[in-house]
Amino acid sequence: MSLSMLYALAGVGLFVLGLHGLIVQTHLLRKILALNIMGSGVFMLMVALARRAPENPDPVPHAMVITGIVVAVSATALALALILRLQAMTGRAELPEQQTRP
């Protein structure tokens, strides 16, 4: 197993770890952090798989990851603004269906 495969498997691990956090955590800020960890796992997987080319790495996944990072930052900012608005309206930073459960 090559080094790039190790990184790719670590990316899969990050993705699943993030998915677990996304399901288990109730606070929306933690859900956003979990989503970002999932995204980082995908980026890591793509960069690792691009390294499998015999000489120079495949530039296409690299270009996608570069733009993806900036887009992920802006999506996170939008999500944070949504949380702030939700908290201003309801006083809680949790989803409605999770507030009814004990």
Q: Which residues bind another protein (CB under 8 A)?
A: 1-2, 5, 8-9, 12-13, 15-16, 19-20, 23-24, 45, 49-50, 52-64, 66-67, 69-71, 73-75, 77-78, 80-82, 84-85
**Nearest to 61, CA basis, from 72, 69, 50, 76:** 50
Nearest approach, Cβ of residue 33 and another protein (Å): 17
DSSP at 94: B
Nearest approach, Cβ of residue 2 and another protein (Å): 6
Nearest approach, Cβ of residue 76 and another protein (Å): 9
Nearest approach, Cβ of residue 95 and another protein (Å): 14
Nearer to another protein, 33 or 72 (CB): 72
12 near 52, Cβ under 8 Å?
no
Task: Tell me how many helices (H) and strands (E) the chain has.
Answer: 4, 0
Return phi, psi of residue 94, to 5°.
-135, 160
